[in-house]
């Protein structure tokens, strides 16, 4: 979502870093480009004005002129003010006594029901015992959807197709206390637009459940309209936070940057894909770093920790050290990597990757092809790729729906990777002139 704005801002910052000294004219010219980039990203005009006002006040002062690296200092100021615009981290509240009651609100199509299930899975992974409540009784399909999702994640779903939403919400609290559920997530009714009926039902469910959190789910793909929807809900009811969905889409990202400052409500979670694992706690500093092309290494580490079993990771590291890593191991690590999310999303979290991704298109179909080719090999072939002759390549290609030359390409890439691993294991750097201390070699 932030590719366009990141590329524009990176161009501006590259010009600033190239200058030994910055004049007021340099700063003003750069801020004009930042302004255009933000407006093109559909950021609220008032937010842009306030943001640039704060940046300019700091950038034309002694804070920059006395800096040894003025260009980097301007980038630092932009980053800090962007974090301020995105708001502080806002974890879910902790009630005085369980259960924690979370009311999910939003318009139809925003991803509210799926987000309720994602949140339940997220909290379950944290050791909580959530209960999902299907209180969107206007749409039987929404109840079916929540029940299906509940089964997939192993979370109970309470529903009453013939009942009333407020009564169901009240019954859910009693049920949770009896069954030991310490979190209740209530999926409320949605509409195509904000209207009196929607607000009356939301108010009734809120009164019956007395929630600790009221989270509004908004579709970031709708751009500035997402912020308008949030403001519309706020005009009718109290909200404690926002959840932005579809941040993996190709919209311009203005909603994420504008939402906190326009509504005064914190962004608590963001949806980054359609999978039930694709919900992240919102960290303003990490999001600002990603927007400015600085990567998000902490989130990448967290994704790796959740995807990789510690014992398996240690075993894989030992195989790498001994250079005994084969295609069987590669397939296993490949599958673990895929669990972490789309590869382009992962690469975008690496510092400086934004520039690289301009010219490199990461095609998930290529990854699927590699996996299909390895899966079409026998266990013996995976352990000893050298035994794969012409006839075996043709069989593997036929079994994976690819061509023999595709099989050749995978084997060549793996062979090159093995050579590099052996070099590292023996203490030799695959890059001339680069020392690799502690990586094998002779003992002194």
What does the domain layout of the chain look like in residue ranges? 3-86, 100-292, 302-425
Does the predicted model carry a pTM greater than 0.85?
A: no
Is pLDDT above 60 for 86? yes
Is pLDDT above 70 for 128? yes
CA 189, CA 325: separation in Å to the nearest integer? 52
pLDDT of amino acid 62: 58
Could you read off the pLDDT of 150-181 as tens digits, one per residue? 999 999 999 999 889 999 999 999 999 999 99
Is pLDDT above 80 for 123? yes
Is pLDDT above 60 for 297? no
Please report the sign of the dihedral spanned by the C-alpha atoms of residue 125, residue 126, residue 131, residue 134. negative
Cα 444 to the chain's mean position, in Å?
Answer: 46
pLDDT of amino acid 434: 38
CA 389, CA 148: separation in Å to the nearest integer? 47
Average pLDDT over residues 339-343: 64
pLDDT of amino acid 357: 46
* Residue of 105, 103, 42, 111 lying closest to 233 (CA atoms): 105
Lowest mean pLDDT among 9-18, 151-160, 382-391: 9-18
Residue 270 is given by DSSP the state E
Could you read off the pLDDT of 17-68 as tens digits, one per residue? 777 677 788 888 888 988 998 888 888 899 999 999 998 888 876 566 555 5
Question: Tokens 């036929």 label which residue?
Answer: 398
Between residues 223 and 66, the one the model is more confident about? 223
Average pLDDT over residues 354-366: 55
CB atoms inside a 10 Å sphere around CB 375:
12
Q: What pairs with residue 242 in β-bridges?
A: 216, 267
H/E run at residue 9: helix 3-17
pLDDT-derived band at 332 (thresholds 50, 70, 90) equals: confident
E strand intervals along 263-337: 267-271, 279-281
* Residue of 233, 171, 174 lying closest to 202 (CA atoms): 233
pLDDT-derived band at 235 (thresholds 50, 70, 90) equals: confident
CATH of domain 302-425: 1.10.260.30
pLDDT-derived band at 73 (thresholds 50, 70, 90) equals: confident
Could you read off the pLDDT of 265-278 as tens digits, one per residue? 999 999 988 889 88
pLDDT of amino acid 431: 41
Asked if residues 124 and 258 have their Cβ atoms less than 8 Å apart, the reply is: no
E strand intervals along 147-278: 157-158, 183-187, 213-219, 241-245, 267-271
pLDDT of amino acid 356: 45
Is pLDDT above 90 for 144? yes
Query: What class, spelled out in words, does domain 100-292 have in CATH?
Result: alpha beta
Measure the CA dihedral 232/238/240/242, to 10°: -20
Is pLDDT above 80 for 322? no
Tell me the average pLDDT of the chain: 81
The percentage of residues in the chain with a pLDDT greater than 90, rounded to a whole number, is 39
CA 387, CA 382: separation in Å to the nearest integer? 9
Q: DSSP letters along 45-104, please?
A: HHHHHHHHHHHHHHHTSHHHHT-SSHHHHHHHHHHHHHHHHH----PPP--SSSPEEEEE
Q: Which fold has domain 3-86?
A: 1.20.120
- Helix ranges (H only) for 281-436 are 284-291, 297-307, 310-322, 327-339, 343-347, 353-359, 364-375, 379-383, 390-400, 404-425
Residue 385 is given by DSSP the state G
The percentage of residues in the chain with a pLDDT greater than 70, rounded to a whole number, is 76
CA 75, CA 14: separation in Å to the nearest integer? 10
């Amino acid at each position: 979502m932030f590719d366009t704005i990141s590329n524009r801002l990176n161009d501006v910052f590259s010009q600033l870093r190239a200058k030994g000294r910055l004049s007021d004219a340099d700063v003003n010219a750069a801020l004009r480009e930042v302004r255009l980039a933000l407006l093109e990203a559909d950021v609220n005009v008032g937010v842009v004005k306030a943001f640039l006002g704060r940046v300019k006040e700091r950038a034309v002062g002694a804070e920059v002129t006395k800096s040894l690296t003025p260009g980097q200092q301007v980038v630092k100021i932009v980053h800090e003010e962007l974090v301020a615009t995105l708001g502080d981290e806002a974890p879910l509240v902790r009630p005085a006594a369980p259960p924690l009651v979370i009311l999910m609100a939003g318009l139809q199509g925003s991803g509210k029901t799926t987000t309720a299930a994602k949140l339940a899975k997220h909290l379950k992974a944290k050791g909580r015992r959530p209960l999902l409540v299907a209180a969107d009784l206007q749409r039987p399909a929404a109840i079916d959807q929540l029940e299906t999702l509940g089964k997939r994640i192993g979370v109970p779903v309470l529903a009453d197709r013939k009942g009333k939403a407020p009564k169901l919400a009240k019954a859910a609290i009693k049920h949770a206390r009896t069954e030991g559920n310490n979190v209740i997530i209530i999926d409320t009714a949605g509409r195509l637009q904000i209207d009196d009926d929607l607000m009356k039902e939301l108010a009734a469910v809120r009164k019956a459940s007395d929630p600790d959190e009221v989270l509004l789910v908004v579709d970031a793909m709708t751009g500035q309209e997402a912020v308008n929807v949030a403001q519309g809900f706020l005009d009718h009811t109290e909200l404690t936070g926002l959840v932005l969905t579809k941040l993996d889409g190709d919209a311009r990202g203005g909603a994420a940057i504008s939402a906190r400052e326009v509504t005064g409500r914190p962004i608590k979670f963001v949806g980054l894909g359609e999978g039930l694992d694709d919900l992240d706690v919102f960290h303003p500093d990490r999001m600002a770093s990603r927007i400015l092309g600085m990567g998000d290494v902490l989130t990448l580490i967290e994704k790796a920790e959740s995807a990789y079993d510690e014992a398996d990771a240690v075993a894989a590291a030992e195989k790498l050290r001994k250079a005994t890593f084969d295609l069987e191991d590669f397939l296993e690590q490949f599958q673990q990597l895929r669990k972490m999310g789309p590869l382009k999303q992962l690469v975008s979290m690496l510092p400086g990757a934004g520039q690289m991704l301009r010219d490199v298109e990461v095609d998930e179909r290529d990854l699927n092809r590699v996996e299909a080719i390895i899966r079409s090999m026998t266990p013996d072939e995976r352990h000893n790729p050298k035994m794969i002759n012409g006839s075996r390549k043709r069989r593997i290609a036929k079994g994976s729906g690819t061509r023999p030359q595709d099989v050749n390409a995978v084997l060549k890439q793996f062979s090159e990777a093995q050579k590099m691993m052996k070099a590292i294991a023996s203490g030799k750097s695959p890059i001339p002139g680069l020392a690799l201390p502690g990586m094998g070699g002779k003992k002194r």
